[in-house]
Structure 1
């Protein structure tokens, strides 16, 4: 139960960080490398591009067309939205599958639900990690390209928050998946114990009440007496 609570806290915290990354402004910020006087700062995210002048006034422009965007921006949008949705369903299933809650049915059913929520959190973390890494790869590729004459950008704060949230989601989801092993091991051991008890009880109950305690103390049969042979045949398999 303690492991599930820690896993739920980690996973939910990671999902909150991933969700807050999606609408953040600073996914990439204009580089100040090689510049002496800075008159404006350019920054952009998945939804708009903005410029801030030296007086602190910002002017933003939303992307006019979704289909006219670069492919990496569209991919990052889809991956981040999928990460938010998977994390939401993972948190709901985690509340149902945890042992400290009163819903979900038996321990075996709750363990299956907890494992399913852990898989959702892992997939959410992988989607967010892929989106942030893809966006960062595009920024670094343009920055170190000597043939590129466009504005150079650097990694924004949103990417680091997204990476942190992704790692928390993956760690918490993995802990939720590993926490169900105790439930299945416990139910399996209980089933074996009940089976052995039933077998030993049926073995003892096959004897009469007066012979159950003295079955190992019975004297050997006398083969010389013909009247004892019939008694030996009756108990030959005892």
Structure 2
């Protein structure tokens, strides 16, 4: 019963990580205008994401989806691809997790098969967390590098957006779901009566 509780807890954490991951991937909050220098229009705030940009001006928000993904930089395309790949792996891990839960009847009493599915799901959670962490950390690195680069003009400098911080939180959720679900996915040890051969006296 304890292992079943751990599995359910890991599944809930995985679902939360996947849902917040979709929000992070779709939100235009990866980079935000940095207010540095003397000549700045503080009334305008530019938000940039993987799929769109938003301009906040005098309380009005206008968003525009990128016209072409091929026109983006190589790093932006990489972040897009890795984020989508991570969400797909996380979704596959969730499907396997539900199938491998001990409280479900998908595979009947095949405890060993369910344990294998649980271990595969844990490995997929690990891969999903890794592929989600890469674009978040790379985007943060590019923002910080350009912010301190004297060759980058002040209006082009950006700061870390809230989506990056939320992305690190998503990675933590996936990593926490990994050992919790993996531990709960261990197969039930055979009973004493089954593990010891019956002695027959002649």
After the TM superposition, which segments of 4 or more aligned residues of structure 1 sit over 6 Å from their partners?
none
Q: 1:33 aligns with which of 15, 33, 36?
A: 36
Who wins on radius of gyration, i.e. which is larger? 1
| 2:157 corresponding residue in structure 1 | 152
How far the C-alpha of 1:60 sits from its partner, in A, is 3.5
Correspondence for 1:143 among 128, 142, 147:
147
2:136 to 129, 132, 136: 132
- Which of residues 182, 186, 191 is equivalent to 1:177? 182
Deviation readout 1:37-56 (Å, 9 max, x if unpaired): 61311111011223222x22
CA RMSD of aligned residues (A): 2.0
Give TM-score scaled by structure 2 length.
0.88
The corresponding residue for 1:234 is: none
Q: Which residue of 1 aligns with 2:168?
A: 163
Tell whether 2:125 aligns with 1:121: yes
TM normalised by structure 1 equals: 0.75
Give the unaligned 5+ runs of structure 1.
206-238
Q: Which runs of 5+ in 2 are unaligned?
A: none
Tell me, in whole angstroms, the C-alpha distance in 2 between the residues paired with 1:180 and 1:52: 48
Indicate yes or no: 2:9 matched with 1:12: no
Aligned length: 196
Query: Per the alignment, do residues 78 and 86 of structure 1 end up closer, same or farther by CA in structure 2, a change over 3 Å counting?
Result: same
Q: What do the CA deviations read for 1:174-233 (whole angstroms, capped 9, x no partner)?
A: 22223233x26x03866531x3x2xx32xx22xxxxxxxxxxxxxxxxxxxxxxxxxxxx
Hey, what does 1:235 align to over in structure 2? none
CA distance 1:37–1:62, shift in 2 (3 Å):
closer
CA offsets 1:7-37 (integer angstroms, 9 cap, x no match): 1111111111111111112111001234576
Alignment partners' CA distance in 2, 1:119 and 1:141: 33
